[in-house]
A and B are shown apart, each in its own frame.
Chain A
Amino acid sequence: MRERITVYLGGVVVLGLAMVPFVPGAPDSYLFYFLFLFFLHTAIAQSWNLVAGFTGQISLGQHAFFGLGAYTTALIWQRQLFGESYGYYFDPLVLILSGLVAGIFALMVGFPLLAKLRGDYFALGTLGFGEIIRVAFVKGGQFTGGPFGIIMPSSVYETLRPHYWVGLALAGGLTYMIHRIRRSHFGLALISVRDDELAASSHGIDILKYKLIAFALGAVFTGIAGSLYGHYLFHVSPDGFLNLNWTLYPILMAVIGGSGTVLGPVVGAFAMTAVFTLASVSYPEIHPIFSGAVIILVMLFMPNGIMRLAKR
């Protein structure tokens, strides 16, 4: 019952947020940009949550998927893969392909890593994978634009509205999907793998299969988020996209909000986006110190995340 009310309220909030761009002047406000970042952060935090929070596989290679998504968009667009007159800007096909490319990489690298490595070693394996991808793009020469990356034609930019809506749909849709998964038989399989792999496999669960599906799903959504951010910057580079921050941010947000819960990463993404924004606007000189202090305080006083605290 309480759960149904939460879903209903969530739907109302998403609908309300979807109306914001129609408010005169709103798209030009700083708050509008803040909400866009919040949605983007929610999407990557939820993606990590699915892999680590629900399935127990700590991935430290999320920045690779974020970058792969962005580079896929940039490459398709730059090379005009679908012809010269095709509208690449916010094309659903381009967004989806960006997610799929990240997902395919996740399957290719996830299969050997998940089959062979467990726990910390898997985490380090994904970190290594992220580094390989970064170096490959830096050294990619003409194809990837090297350390500078690829520029997309920013003349198509009119407003932040499409970014906002796509971000909202991504964050809202992913959160709803995770809610449904939590209540499904598929979710039971993921959580049982997280809780006890041996017992899961002894009760009919093909653990490698479920780890792979979760890892690939997380990569797909992270890739779409990367593409979305590429649509905002119009410049996809190793520094901007294959940066380890894109792995650390989602972990931070999911953990602070409560990983393994449905709403934790949303709360965490909101809180951390607010902290980062506040810090960079109000105390630009000490931004990292301020943010770091807040993170340490939250972890000290809410060791299981904000959402878990609320439950107690």
Chain B
Amino acid sequence: MSATTPVIELDMISKRFGGLVVLKDISMSVGPGEIVGLIGPNGAGKSTLFNVITALYAPEQGEVRFKGRRLTGTRPHNICRLGIARTFQLVRTFLSLTARENVLVGAVYGRGSRGGNVNAIADEALAMVGLTQQQHIVTEHMTLSARRLLEIARALACQPSLLLLDEPMAGLNESEIERMVEVIKRARGERGLSILWVEHKVDAIMKICDRVVVIDHGEKISDGTPAETVSNTKVIEAYLGEPIA
């Protein structure tokens, strides 16, 4: 693997649900240590793209490569063990487990052959998102924002090289959003992970991301730096002329 091999590479991915084409010939990549924003209107296909990467859906066409290795046919749990961890748009924590137990699931089962002490890894992941104090609370009793942070901690405990975040800020208030931004920055800064980040809070994306990919109706319409993205006419059209930054 050369220094320039992308961590994740999508090559002409298409995904249909019955007659509905949700993704059409999508090619894109995320490089080592890069943080890439993925934006697009509702129903554009962003979450579907995540589900294709994590093998929850099989694409009709195209292939996904992780560190140069084809992922076709890999089962979801092995995707995680290889080093791709994710969060969900509609939070999916294990509600009857405590925060710590949630993170332990990632630390115990999600790391594949990456070594290390399970408890230390869980401690570190909880500390990274600032949930150490709440670690013994049963998740059912936690707030939405705490659960979103917990999902990130659980994903980090898998010690991934690629982190997929699906709208981690949805439903959070201003101060919670600030905290989330700090957590994402820290995750990248301290771990050097690559991040692919879906978000409707476009200003946050523009501030933090190295690169932004825009999809609309399942097609990629833009791929470039935040500055290039905001001046792209296709992007402006997709957002119906709304000022996006």
Contacts and interface: CB of A to CB of B under 8 A. Distances in A.
Nearest to A185: B108
Interface in A207-235: 207
Contacts of A189: 105, 108-109
Nearest to A199: B92
B93 interface: yes
A192 B105 contact: yes
B201 interface: no
B97 A202 contact: no
Contacts of B32: none
Contacts of A205: 77, 105, 109
B86 interface: yes
B76 interface: yes
A239 interface: no
Given A185-B104, A198-B56, A203 B97 contact: no
Contact of A199 (B81, B93, B101): B93
A211 to B, nearest CB: 13
Contacts of A92: none
Contact of A195 (B54, B94, B112): B94
A194 to B, nearest CB: 8
Given A191-B94, A192-B94, A202 B104 contact: no
B106 interface: yes
Given A189-B109, A196-B92, A198-B56, A203 B154 contact: yes
A188 B77 contact: no
Interface string A237-264: 0000000000000000000000010000
Contacts of B118: 185
Interface in A107-125: none
A53 to B, nearest CB: 11
A207 B158 CA distance: 17
B72 interface: no
A191 B92 CA distance: 14
B61 interface: no
A24 to B, nearest CB: 47
Contact of B76 (A188, A201, A260): A201
B110 interface: yes
Nearest to B109: A204
Interface-centre pick from A189, A191, A195, A203 (highest chain B CB count, 10 A) = A203
Given A195-B95, A198-B56, A203 B80 contact: yes
Contacts of B111: 204
B232 interface: no
Interface in A99-147: none
A191 B104 CA distance: 12
B233 interface: no
5 contacts: A185-B118, A194-B96, A196-B92, A199-B92, A203-B109
Given A189-B109, A202-B77, 20 more contacts: A185-B104, A192-B105, A196-B93, A196-B95, A198-B88, A199-B94, A201-B75, A201-B76, A201-B77, A202-B80, A202-B85, A203-B109, A203-B158, A204-B105, A204-B106, A204-B109, A204-B110, A204-B112, A206-B77, A260-B96
